[in-house]
Structures are given as structure tokens and as C-alpha cells.
Amino acid sequence: MKKSKLFSWILVIIWMAFIYILSSQPASESIILSGSITNRLYNLVILIFSNIEIDIFHIFIRKSAHFIIYLILGILLMNATYKNNNLYFKNILIALLVSTLYAVTDEIHQLFVLGRAGQLIDVFIDTTGSIVGVFIFNVLHKITFHRRKKYEN
């Protein structure tokens, strides 16, 4: 296996470990982390949207985090599968299957973490993030592929 192939899978594993660590935080720790991020962003957003409630904004930030974290996982999985073969459809299926299964197991894992709960809506948000990540990877890959091809001719 080439170093770049191995490295791409190592990045996937590191990112999955990062997700696992975040999911392993008891609710009290998770709320402190997301709360500090929410408060910083809220102070910026309140300047533009003066009537938004902090509780609604906090939920939006937490759900956006799910989406973005799995968007990145989708990109990393597409990159890793693409380095193994050039079969786009197969890569897309593998990336979406792995990310969706990981989202499901992540929510099941949270059922056993103090104060946390597994939520089906989070699996949906995670999967949607992965779909967008896979799409972004494909768009960027096609752009770079066509640029490379243009310069080769």
C-alpha cells in the first residue's frame, strides 16, 4: 500500500477517534464545551440578529457541529476510498455506508454515556453532512482533474 493510501486511512481513523472522544464526554462536559463556543458566536450574531434566543442558537450550534463533523468524515472517506480505486459509484456507496453506520453506532454509544442520549435526528443530520461531504469531494475532484487534464494537453 502506498504511503498516501495508508495516510488517507489513518486520517479517517483519527477523525473517527475524535468523534468517539467527543461522544464519550458526559453531558455536563459536552454542554460546557458547546456552551463556550455558543456564547462566543452568539455575541457576534446578536449584533446582526438582535432578536434570536440563546437557547435556539445553542441547539443550532450543536446540530451544526454534527453536520460539519460528518461532512469532514465524508470527505476523508471519499479521499481514502478514491486512493484505493477509481470507481466513483463504489467509493460513494462505501463512504456513505461507513459514515452512516458510524453515525448509528455513535448514537448507540451515547446511550451509555452519563447524561447523553442517542437521537435518530442526529443520525439524519450526520448522514446529511456526509452526503454533502461526498458531494464536495466529488466536485473538487472533478475541478482539479479537469485542470490537470487541461494542462497536460
pLDDT band at 104 (very low <50, low <70, confident <90, very high): very high
Residue 133 has pLDDT above 90, yes or no: yes
Q: How many helices (H) and strands (E) are present in the chain, helices listed first?
A: 5, 0
Rg (CA), the chain: 18
Q: What is the pLDDT of residues 38-95, one digit of tens each?
A: 666 666 666 666 677 767 776 888 889 899 999 999 999 999 998 877 777 889 999 9
Say what the pTM is: 0.84
Closest-CA residue to 66 (of 121, 109, 17, 25): 121
Taking all residues of the chain, what is their mean pLDDT, rounded to a whole number? Answer: 86
Q: What pLDDT, on a 0 to 100 scale, did the predictor assign at position 132?
A: 98
Is the per-residue pLDDT at 118 higher than 90?
Answer: no
The mean per-residue pLDDT over the stretch 23-43 comes to: 73
CA–CA dist 143, 139 (Å, integer) = 6
Measured CA to CA, the distance from residue 97 to residue 74 in angstroms comes to 10
Per-residue pLDDT, 144: 83
Question: What's the confidence (pLDDT) of residue 59?
Answer: 80
Cα–Cα distance for residue pair 127/41, rounded to 1 Å: 25
What is the per-residue pLDDT for 146?
66
**Which of 12-26, 28-42, 85-99, 104-118 shows the lowest mean pLDDT across its residues?**
28-42
With a CB cutoff of 8 Å and minimum separation 6, the contacts of 140 are none
- Residue 105 reports pLDDT greater than 90: yes
